[in-house]
Structure 1
């Protein structure tokens, strides 16, 4: 009687869905990072413009906040979508960073870098650092303002939240002004490379307009950072009371 040798049964590999394969592919990560990055850049631009309404007075700022609050369920949906986009952006960024560390352990401090060597800069080499700081800051920022003290005021004959009072109260504290300014300048560094890199990743640039896009990205990032930083210093300096 002969013995029959049997090879161990191989474990069946569960096929991945197209979305998972797309997420894990280098091209998929570039496209996801670019699309989510531009969406978040658009949000911070709108948010910065809303902040500047406080220069027009408390009523203008509170009216803007009240208008958003009236969206009701839609506002929660938009906020949930933004959180999802931010988490996806962070997840892809960390995945790319960890992957590069494994591939080249001696150092890749750069995230989602696209383009020629001449376009590398301090902002491109510190993307993972500024991104991590911004993620932590976002939680603290929401805790301070969205979930902070509720002051009431009268707006057009009805009760409303006096968010302007809270903002002025917080930015009268120098440590918060300094910390906020440092983080938002970090946002400028992040956008400096991120906006240009995102557009490049989505295939919307060609060599002829790449330098122009690179310069526009720098101007946009600087304008957003200065727009955010101007408000706390105007409050602390007494220009807004």
Structure 2
């Protein structure tokens, strides 16, 4: 019997083209961002951060009821933080962009899952808490984003009046605010935007608390009612100043 030598079996050749097309595994952070849970947590956390900023901004606006000097002093104090102030602005811009971007992604994901919408809507109330504010979040959010650009253009980068404050030359931001809110079209338009803000916050605040896991079934009705009250309070707080200026009670 003759022994035959066989060549060792060759390993299958790697498909270079297939390997090149196979993407590397996504990082845990990217997988978290792409997941439904991750998007809900991101919108919840960024939403709560923006609510905190809006509330602080409203309180700052109300200082104009004390007087122009108090309002300008507040604006000067904020701007005097220097590098910290600009870093905060950049961080706030990033939060706004991230919140809007993820919100749009969630909206389009829902649209793809249900391309044909319902012909009629009815507020479900009860456990689902479906309301007009919850169904129009993408609309109110988009309008608020556009308004933010014009708002910054008007006040952050608007006319630079100067005045004296404790012997120091500072920006007279109070004068700019008073001048703008003496125009009825501006006041009315601002009021409409604030109503949309209240609607956005009504659903957004309680939804954010639920998304990050701070609500359980027992306190959801209470949290829902409190969110509506806070949203309404913020909207009213912002509306007080422009109408008081237009009616001649301030300035």
> TM-score scaled to structure 1, two decimals?
0.92
Q: In structure 1, the residue corresponding to 2:218 is in which secondary structure?
A: coil
Could you tell me how far 1:176 is from its partner in structure 2? 0.8
Match of 2:214 in 1: 204
- For residues 47-93 of structure 1, the C-alpha deviation after alignment (integer angstroms, 9 at most, x for no partner) is 00000000000000000000001001110000100000010000100
Q: In structure 1, the residue corresponding to 2:24 is in which secondary structure?
A: coil
Aligned with residue 34 of structure 1, among 44, 57, 71: 44
Match of 1:112 in 2: none
Q: In structure 2, the residue corresponding to 1:238 is in which secondary structure?
A: coil
Aligned with residue 158 of structure 2, among 128, 148, 152: 148
Match of 1:15 in 2: 25
d(CA) in 1 for partners of 2:94 and 2:126?
31
- For residues 197-231 of structure 1, the C-alpha deviation after alignment (integer angstroms, 9 at most, x for no partner) is 00000110111111100010000000000000111
Residue 88 (str. 1) matches residue 98 (str. 2): yes
Q: In structure 1, the residue corresponding to 2:250 is in which secondary structure?
A: coil
Could you tell me how far 1:117 is from its partner in structure 2? 5.0
| 1:1-241 alignment runs, 5 A limit | 9-10=17-18, 11-107=21-117, 118-241=128-251
Query: What's the Cα RMSD here?
Result: 1.8
> TM-score scaled to structure 2, two decimals?
0.89
Unaligned runs of 5+ in 1: 1-5, 109-114
Structure 1 moving runs of 4+ over 4 Å: none
Q: In structure 2, the residue corresponding to 1:240 is in which secondary structure?
A: coil
d(CA) in 2 for partners of 1:142 and 1:9?
51
Unaligned runs of 5+ in 2: 1-13, 119-124
Q: In structure 1, the residue corresponding to 2:169 is in which secondary structure?
A: strand
> Computing the radius of gyration over CA atoms, which structure comes out larger, 1 or 2?
2
Could you tell me how far 1:155 is from its partner in structure 2? 0.5
- For residues 147-200 of structure 1, the C-alpha deviation after alignment (integer angstroms, 9 at most, x for no partner) is 000000011111110000000000011111111110011000000000000000
